Amino acid sequence: MILVTGGAGFIGANFVLDWLAQSDEPLLNLDKLTYAGNRENLASLANDRRHVFVHGDIADSDLTGRLLARYTPRAIINFAAESHVDRSIHGPEDFIQTNVVGTFHLLESTRGYWSKLPAGTRERFRFLHVSTDEVYGSLTSDAPAFSETHRYEPNSPYSASKAASDHLVRAYHHTYHLPVLTTNCSNNYGPYHFPEKLIPLMIVNALAGRPLPVYGDGQQIRDWLYVQDHCSAIRRVMDAGRPGETYNIGGCNEKPNLEIVHTVCTLLDELRPRADGRPYREQITYVADRPGHDRRYAIDAGKIERELGWRPAETFATGIRKTVEWYLANQDWVSNVQSGAYRDWVEKNYGGRPS
């Protein structure tokens, strides 16, 4: 069995579904079920005995200790995190509690469990920590992409909290020899993405006839990684990665945000045209940029390709089409996640921004 934390969120749920589609190995799923953790993401596993779900917090050491003792996982994959930059600007404390304090408690519980394993089992055990390219800071337009040795320069409370968690994971390897692996990924997109992030927000707002808010001039550049490619990379790192190493995972798709919005609009024009026949691009609205907005992220994923033979399977063209088609086919899921709290958040974050 493996233990996945945060397995009801966007990337975690995709990993859980992908894992059980390809393996009969059981999976223990621990999730706090905050606003972005959604049991509906896992509805297809309701009667699958290979999936054991536990509602709980990685910071609850008593709970994680009991789970580790009972289920004896051979590996832990830590997806659990607060992950939205805008929310971290409005309320950073939750990010410190989950991403820093929570990771610390999970590491401590893991260390206690791992140290008591039989020698052979202990050597095969892995703790894989899922992180972000945002810990590296921002790049100029002509700078080389982030490698695993790029220095950390986090610029938001979110990225600073993830940087802190990465440092804790590294320290537990060097101090206690815990067999850890760290992955730093670029921007993910795909099914089950909570509609506060750029791509699902654009899809949801476009279909509802609402403005499509674009920060600043829309020329902030990101590398885009289809979520199922990310899942395959994590499996590969867990199976063959060297303990103590970091692996950058990218989609080889650097694009400015405005181009992403235009692509989504063009696909919607094709797949779900507006009733009045006019293009969705007419709904684009430019709003004031968020504080400290990083201008460019870019991932150098050469190490994982050289050492582990992994490359993304999807191009951006194929991945974004699959994503838009998924949202069009799953409107009930979209409606269910758009609670009053979600609408209040969107108004708080975008409603007061001058154009």
The tens digit of pLDDT for each residue in 204-242 reads 999 999 999 999 999 999 999 999 999 999 999 999 999
Say yes or no to pLDDT of 102 above 80: yes
- Write down the residue that tokens 């293009």 correspond to: 279
The letter for the amino acid at 149 is: T
| Mean pLDDT taken over the chain | 93
Question: Is 110 within the bounds of a domain?
Answer: yes
* Distant-in-sequence, close-in-space partners of 166: CB < 8 Å, separation ≥ 6: 129, 131, 135, 152, 182, 184, 246
The b/e string for 129-158 (b: 16+ C-beta within 10 A; e otherwise) is: bbbbbbbbbbbeeeeebbebebeeebbbbb
What does R_g of the chain's alpha carbons equal in angstroms? 20
Mean pLDDT of 86-97: 86
CA pseudo-torsion sign 155, 160, 166, 168:
positive
What pLDDT was estimated at residue 88? 75
Question: Is 167 within the bounds of a domain?
Answer: yes
Distances (CA, A) of 69 to 56, 104, 126, 188, 246: 16, 18, 16, 33, 28
Say yes or no to pLDDT of 349 above 60: no
**30-44, 56-70, 341-355, range with greatest mean pLDDT:** 56-70
What pLDDT was estimated at residue 347? 61
pLDDT cut 90: percent of the chain above it: 86
What pLDDT was estimated at residue 352? 57
**Long-range CB contacts for residues 168-177, cutoff 8 Å, separation at least 24:** 168/100, 168/103, 168/104, 168/107, 169/103, 169/107, 169/127, 169/129, 170/244, 172/107, 172/111, 172/127, 173/243, 173/244, 174/244, 176/111, 176/115
Q: Which of 289-298, 321-330, 345-354 has the lowest mean pLDDT?
A: 345-354
Question: Is 330 within the bounds of a domain?
Answer: no
Contact by Cβ (8 Å): 238, 77: yes
What's the pLDDT band for 113 if we cut at 50, 70, 90? very high
Number of domains in the chain: 1
Distance, C-alpha 50 to centroid of its chain: 23
Residues designated as active site: 133-134, 158
* Distant-in-sequence, close-in-space partners of 272: CB < 8 Å, separation ≥ 6: 207, 328
Say yes or no to pLDDT of 342 above 50: no
Contact by Cβ (8 Å): 170, 107: no
What pLDDT was estimated at residue 5? 98
Looking at residue 97, which CATH number applies to its domain? 3.40.50.720
Say yes or no to pLDDT of 125 above 80: yes
Contact by Cβ (8 Å): 206, 331: no
What's the pLDDT band for 18 if we cut at 50, 70, 90? very high
Question: Is 159 within the bounds of a domain?
Answer: yes
Question: Is 172 within the bounds of a domain?
Answer: yes
Return the higher-pLDDT residue of 295 and 341. 295
Tokens matching residue 212: 């499509």
Which of 227, 325, 312, 332 lies closest to 270, judged by CA?
A: 325
What pLDDT was estimated at residue 246? 98
What pLDDT was estimated at residue 345? 44
∠ at Cα 354 (352, 355), nearest 5°?
135
Question: Is 48 within the bounds of a domain?
Answer: yes
Tokens matching residue 295: 């201008």
* Distant-in-sequence, close-in-space partners of 93: CB < 8 Å, separation ≥ 6: none
Say yes or no to pLDDT of 355 above 70: no
Say yes or no to pLDDT of 203 above 60: yes
Distances (CA, A) of 349 to 65, 133, 355: 38, 23, 13
Say yes or no to pLDDT of 351 above 80: no
User: In terms of residue numbers, what domain contains 137?
Assistant: 2-189+226-251+294-313
Question: Is 116 within the bounds of a domain?
Answer: yes
CA pseudo-torsion sign 72, 171, 294, 313:
negative
Length reported for the chain? 355
Question: Is 21 within the bounds of a domain?
Answer: yes
Mean pLDDT of 159-181: 98
Tokens matching residue 174: 């060097």
Say yes or no to pLDDT of 245 above 60: yes
Return the higher-pLDDT residue of 344 and 262. 262
